[in-house]
Amino acid sequence: ELFQKWISFINSTNPDGYTGYNIFGYDWKYMADRDKWSYLKNASRIYEIPSVMEHKELKSSAYGVNTFDILQIPGVFQVDLYTEIRRNHKLESYSLNNVALHFTKQQKDDMPYMELFKKLKGSAEDVWLCAKYCVQDTFLVIELIRQLKIIPNLIEMAKVTRVPIDWLITRGQQIKVFNQIAYSCNKKNFCVPIFSNDRVQQKYVGATVLNANIGAYMDQAVAGLDFASLYPSIMIAHKLCYSTFVSDDPE
C-alpha cells in the first residue's frame, strides 16, 4: 500500500528529477527488493515505457571502482548527492550529518540505523521520531543542493559536454570528450565509428627494435622520431643532433 501511495504521489506531482543521499548505493535497491508487486515500474514519466532497475559499474583512474543500483525512470534526471560530494570535495567523513555540518552548519538528530527500524514498530511517539528524522534527511539534502548549486552546475556541464545529466554521475570522463567529438564531426558530415564492446581485445605490441649497424653516419642523416625518449635526449646533450650541431664551415 505504501508503494502504491508513493507512486500515486509521484504521478500527481510529476517531478522533473529525483535526488537523495546515496540513493544509487542503497535506497533504490532497498525499495526494489521490497517492491513485491512491481509498483516501481509505474514511476515512469513516459507512457508504455516502464521504469527498470539497473546495476552499473564505473571503473576509472579518476573515480576508482563504483557500483550503482539505479531505478531508471524514463523522462526524469537523477542526482545522488553522496556521489557528487565524494567526487568534488575532500572531507574527513562523507556521512550526511558531517557533510551538512561542514557546509550548512546544521545537523540532524542522531539515530543509529538499526534503531530506526525498531522505532518504526514502536509507539506513536517512536514513529513520529522516525518521521522527523526522515524529514531532516530530506531538507538537509535540499539545502546542500541549493547551497552548493549542484543542479545549475550539472545542467551547464551537460549542455557543454552534450550528455544527459545522469551520465555526469554514472559515467566517466571519456564520454564527455567523445560526445563533443561526435557532435563536431556530425556538423561536418563525418561519422564517428563506434566499436562493439564484444570485440576481441588485442594486446598492445611495442615497437620493433632492429639491430643497429655500427659506425658514424656522416653522409646520411639518421632521423630520431621519438623526441620524448632517452636516446634523442642523449643525442642533443652530446651535440649529436642536427638542431645543436655547429660546423666549422659557415656554408
pLDDT tens digits along 230-241: 666 777 677 666
Instruction: State the average pLDDT over residues 30-39.
Output: 85
Q: What is the pLDDT of residue 141?
A: 94
- Which residues make Cβ contacts (< 8 Å) with residue 66, sequence separation at least 6? 57, 58, 59, 83
Instruction: State the average pLDDT over residues 140-156.
Output: 94
Instruction: State the average pLDDT over residues 206-214.
Output: 77
Confidence of residue 134 (pLDDT cuts 50, 70, 90): confident
Would residue 227 count as lying in a domain? Answer: no
User: Which tens digit of pLDDT belongs to each residue from 170-195?
Assistant: 888 888 888 999 999 999 999 888 77
Would residue 106 count as lying in a domain? Answer: yes
Range of the domain at 96: 90-148
Would residue 142 count as lying in a domain? Answer: yes
Alpha carbons 93 and 125: distance in angstroms, whole number: 31
Q: What is the pLDDT of residue 61?
A: 67
Q: What is the pLDDT of residue 250?
A: 65
Would residue 21 count as lying in a domain? Answer: no
Would residue 59 count as lying in a domain? Answer: no
Would residue 216 count as lying in a domain? Answer: no
Q: What is the pLDDT of residue 220?
A: 75
User: Which tens digit of pLDDT belongs to each residue from 82-123?
Assistant: 999 998 899 999 999 999 999 999 888 878 878 888 888 889
Number of domains in the chain: 1
pTM of the model: 0.69
Alpha carbons 49 and 72: distance in angstroms, whole number: 10
Would residue 130 count as lying in a domain? Answer: yes
Q: What is the pLDDT of residue 185?
A: 92
Would residue 56 count as lying in a domain? Answer: no
User: Which tens digit of pLDDT belongs to each residue from 41-84?
Assistant: 888 998 889 999 999 887 776 677 888 999 999 999 999 999 99
Q: What is the pLDDT of residue 117?
A: 83
